[in-house]
Copies of this chain bind each other. A is one copy, B any other.
Amino acid sequence: MKELIKKIKDSIPLSKEAEEYLFSISNERTVPKGSVLIRQGRPVDMVFFVTDGCLRSFFIDRHGKEHTLHFAIRNNWISDYIAIHSNESATLTVECLTESSIIEFDTEKIYGMLTMFPELEPFQRANLERLFISLQKRIINQLHLSAAERYDLFLEEYPDVEQHIPNYHIASYLGITQESLSRIRANKSRT
Contacts and interface: CB of A to CB of B under 8 A. Distances in A.
A56 interface: no
A81 B132 contact: yes
Contacts of A140: 59, 67, 69, 91
B128 A132 contact: yes
A31 interface: no
A82 interface: yes
A43 interface: no
Given A125-B114, A125-B125, A81 B142 contact: no
A67 B139 CA distance: 10
A135 B135 contact: yes
Contacts of A42: none
A137 B137 CA distance: 15
Contacts of A138: 139
Q: Most B CB atoms within 10 A — which of A65, A81, A125?
A: A125
Contact of A139 (B65, B114, B133, B139): B139
A183 interface: no
A132 B126 CA distance: 13
A137 B175 contact: no
Given A85-B129, A85-B132, A121-B121, 6 more contacts: A61-B144, A81-B129, A81-B132, A82-B136, A128-B132, A138-B139
27 contacts: A59-B140, A59-B143, A67-B144, A69-B136, A69-B139, A82-B136, A85-B129, A85-B132, A85-B133, A86-B133, A91-B140, A114-B122, A114-B125, A121-B122, A121-B125, A124-B125, A125-B125, A125-B128, A128-B128, A128-B129, A128-B132, A131-B132, A132-B132, A132-B135, A138-B139, A139-B139, A143-B172
